[in-house]
Amino acid sequence: MNSFCIIGLGKFGTSLAGALVANGKQVMVIDNDPEKVTLIADSVTNAVIGDATNVNLLKASGVADYDCAVVCMTENISDIILVTIQLKELGVKHVISRAVNEGHKKVLSHVGSDEIVYPEHDMGERLAFRLSHSTITDFVQFKGYKVVEIAVPESWVGKDLITLNLRKNFGVNVIAVRYCDGRLDVSPSPTREFNAGEIVSIVGDDRDIDKMTEKLK
With bands split at pLDDT 50, 70 and 90, how would you rate the model's confidence at 211? Answer: confident
Helical segments of the chain, H only: 11-22, 34-41, 55-61, 77-89, 102-110, 119-132, 161-164, 166-170, 206-216
* Predicted confidence (pLDDT) at residue 118 exceeds the cutoff of 90: no
Tens-place pLDDT, residues 67-98: 999 999 876 888 999 999 999 999 999 999 98
Q: How do strand 199-205 and strand 173-178 relate by DSSP bridges? A: antiparallel
Q: How far apart are CA 209 and CA 146, in angstroms?
A: 7
Q: What is the mean pLDDT of the chain?
A: 87
> 203 near 197, Cβ under 8 Å?
no
Same fold, 3-120 and 127-216: no
If phi > 0 it is left, if psi is from -120 to 50 it is alpha, else beta; for residue 86 that is alpha
Give the architecture-level CATH label for domain 127-216. Answer: 2-Layer Sandwich (3.30)
Listed by start position, the domains of the chain span 3-120, 127-216
The upper half-sphere exposure of residue 140, i.e. CA atoms within 13 Å in the direction of its Cβ, equals 5
What is residue 126's predicted lDDT score, i.e. its pLDDT? Answer: 60
With bands split at pLDDT 50, 70 and 90, how would you rate the model's confidence at 209? Answer: confident
* Predicted confidence (pLDDT) at residue 127 exceeds the cutoff of 60: no
Q: Residue 210 CA to chain centroid, in angstroms?
A: 21
**Cα R_g (the chain), whole angstroms:** 22
> 49 near 31, Cβ under 8 Å?
yes
In CATH, which superfamily holds the domain spanning 3-120? NAD(P)-binding Rossmann-like Domain (3.40.50.720)
* Predicted confidence (pLDDT) at residue 120 exceeds the cutoff of 80: no
* Predicted confidence (pLDDT) at residue 66 exceeds the cutoff of 90: yes
Q: Which amino acid is at 143?
A: K
How many other C-beta atoms are found inside a 10 Å radius of the C-beta of residue 50? 16
What is residue 158's predicted lDDT score, i.e. its pLDDT? Answer: 96
What is residue 207's predicted lDDT score, i.e. its pLDDT? Answer: 86
